[in-house]
Structure formats: C-alpha cells, structure tokens
Amino acid sequence: MDRHLFLASKRAAVSFAPDPVTGALRPWLAPGGTGNVVAEQAGVLDVTWIASADTDDDHRAARENPNGLSLRLRSGRDIRVRLLRHDRETFDVVQNFMTAQLMWAANNYGWDRWTTPTFGAETYTALERFTEFTEDFAGALLADSADVADPVYLVHDYQLVGVPARLRAVRATAPILLFVHIPWPSPDYWRILPRALRVGLLEGMLPATTIGFFAERWCRNFLDCVADLIPDADVDRNAGVIRWRGRRTGVRTMPLGYSPRALDADHPRLPAGIAEWAGDAPLVVHSGRTDPMKNAERAVRAFVSAHRRDPRVRSSRMLVRMNPNRLYVEANADYVRRVEYTIAEANAELGPDTVRLHCDNEVEHTIGCFRRADVLIFNSTVDGQNLSTFEAPLVNERDADVILSEMCGAAEILAPVCRTINPFDLVEQADALIAALTASSAERAAAAERRRKVAEPWTLEAWVRTQLERLDADHRDD
C-alpha cells in the first residue's frame, strides 16, 4: 500500500522508571504479549505506534515527550511510540474491570455460568468509561492523520474494538484493519454479556474493512455471533464476508508464529539453580502467563498420573515456568495459589522437588527453559494463538517433544506435528507425556525436524505483509 499507515494498540511493550542515580526516565521493555508483537510490527513498517500510558512514570514520559519517544527493541529494531494520557479513573476502570474482568473473561470462556457472572450498575458505568477510552484512541488517530489524504489504520486487539466505528464516522473511505489477538467465543457464550455490550461491541467492529484473527475457529465464531446478534447483517460464512449498512467487512485468518529477529537477539539462560536441579534428568517444561487458561494445574496432575502409571518416566522432572501477569485480578492470583498447592501435592507423592515452579518476566529465562526441555507442554484451555508453541521448537536443543492443546489457535497449523490433546482430559495428557518421555532418539529427532519445518514460515514479517495484503484486497472489493 502506497499510503500513510497509522498503528495503535492499548498495551505498550514499554514502561518507564527513573534512573536511581540521575532520576531521568528510562524505558523498560516488557516481555511477551500483544504489546511486543505490535511493537515489532511498528519497527517493520517504520511508523509511530500509539499506545496507552499506564503508570505515573509513563504519564511523566508522555508529558515530557508529546511527539513520542524512540527506543530499540530486543530484535534491534528502532521504533517510535506515543503514549496516550487517559483520564486516570477512566483508564483504571478500563484496565481493571472492563477489559481484565469483563471482556477477557467473555472471550476466553472464563465464567462457569452457574455462579459467574452477575452484571450490575458498575458494568454500565464501565461501558461509559470504555466509550471515553475509545474516543481517546480514535481522536489521536484522526488527529495524526488529519492532513493525510489516504490514511490506512491498523488497530490491534480487543480493547480497541470500538475504534473502527469512530474512525469510519470521519474517514468514510479509509482502509481500517482491526486485529483481535485473543479467541472469539461461540454466540451462546457471547450472549452472556448484557445486550448493550454484546451488540455495541460488535457494531463498533463492523465498520472495519478487515477483521483479523489468528485462527479459523475464531473467525467462524465471530461470523456466527454477527449472524445471531445483528439482525440486519448479511453474513456469508463461506466467503468470510459481512455486509452491514452499506459496507462490506472481510473476516480473515492471519496466523503468526514468531519474530526471527527477536529470537536471534535473545541471550537464553536458565534461571539460577535450574540447571543443577534438573541435572541430566528428562525435563518436562510447562510455560505460560499467570492466567487460568494456561492450565498448569492439570499439566502437573497429568505428570503425576504418568509417574504412577509407567515406571520408565519416574526419573523425569517438571518445571512450571510462569510469567507474572495481572495478578491484581483475583482469578489470576487464585490460579497461582492453586498451581502452588498442586505442585506441593505432587512433590509429597513423587519426592521433594520433583516439580518446581519458577516465576519471573525475564524473556531470556523463558527461552533458556525452552532450550533445555525434553518435553514441552502447552495445554491451554483456550488460547488465541500461543506463540510459544512456534518459538520453543525453533530454539530447543534436545529434540523436545511438544504436547499441544487442541484449543490453542496454533493447533490449526501445528497439530499434525505435535501430540495434540484435550486440555481437560488428564488421561489423554498423561498418555501423551508417557509417549513423549519414552520415544526413541530417532523418533524425537525426526519429529523435531518436522515441527521446525512447519513452524519456520510463520514469521512476524510474513504476518505483517499478510495484514496489508488482506486489507488491500478487502478495500478494493468494498
């Protein structure tokens, strides 16, 4: 596209803290997540990226640098980021309630429907704040593009689903991409939300030219939601096209695997004490954020079951590698407590320190654990994609077997070259662990080579190119 590009996402890959000696603000690059993916995209496209200021120091950095800040990513790419200073109360409601508890739970099947959720007046207040938050982003994008004849808007993730409608009201013919990085639920589950949310959020999205997801199943669910809840929408499921109020929207699958430059730039190392603890024993590694959907508790229970059933695997150890995330959300804090309890139970049965938990946000530690693993287990109950499933086989040095949940978006690409399991079935997971831990060296090597070949094409650069190509095609057809 020979046009000016404008890029936005809520979550930034950077936060700021003062230097302890000089007091000057210094950027701190957070690991993983949507922020890093979009940051890398900003580097590929050489555009300024708009994101939210979070902490007091972020607000200070935004005040001191109203035109944006430059920084270098782990990949070596240089980017420019401009942080939006939202009203503090608005941001708090959006961060801690609207997105962290309402929308995240709705999209990731976080409610049991027996006891949760219950929606009261605070939900409708949060929706009002969400509207203000949406206006902040739309206003910033429109202001930045005011003097541009043919802008292209790239809007990323679920916190900004209301932005396309605001952009379209001013820029009637502009190409707008909305990419949702998390799963999309079935229509019956989306119906749990109050009518104002479930319909309003969809109507905020539909003015986009292209709506992207990582996996075909999330596209299908989204198309079904629109067909079920927007009566005047014409949904062509086979073509992935929605026609609504005179506009055409393409709903597209655009998988992402990994950033080659980011992986090459890392300096992997095991956390302190892990090498000595693991020794040369077969090591099972479970990796994920401190989020209940990552399902470490069932992985540990399946590991215990495998030890009970097959003496050949009893020399193996297990490392649960966690990245702390949103521990202010009670569900996340409770998840960590449950995993800790399950590990204590496992060690009481299998022997002290057979299973270990390690929790920090050092990317080098995560990659180091991926390299050392003999078996990698990614058993999320649901996951928009799970990039680690692509990254880990590419950096692993021991022909590690990979156990993958069929509910990860990544399974649509990697299932044929992984041991794919039902994340709720402990027997199936234990079977997969036994098979992985007892496979011959030749079997492991051949399987690892197949996985690398399947994973390698799904680079960040290819993903960015696909976004622009799909957006261009949908814009031409509109």
Q: What is the pLDDT of residue 447?
A: 98
Each domain of the chain, given as residue ranges in start order, spans 5-257+462-477, 267-457
Whether cis (ω within 30° of 0) applies to the bond prior to 117 is yes
**Ranges under pLDDT 50 in the chain:** none
Beta strands in 293-385, from DSSP E residues, in sequence order: 317-323, 355-359, 375-378
Q: What is the pLDDT of residue 265?
A: 74
Q: What is the pLDDT of residue 41?
A: 92
78 neighbors 43 (Cβ within 8 angstroms):
yes
| 267-457: CATH architecture | 3-Layer(aba) Sandwich (3.40)
Helix H or strand E encompassing 287? strand 283-289
Say if 5-257+462-477 and 267-457 have the same CATH topology: yes
3-state secondary structure of 457: coil
Q: What is the pLDDT of residue 33?
A: 66
Cα separations in angstroms, 286 against 11, 205, 399, 402, 422:
25, 35, 16, 10, 16
Which CATH number applies to 5-257+462-477? 3.40.50.2000
**Residues composing the chain:** 478
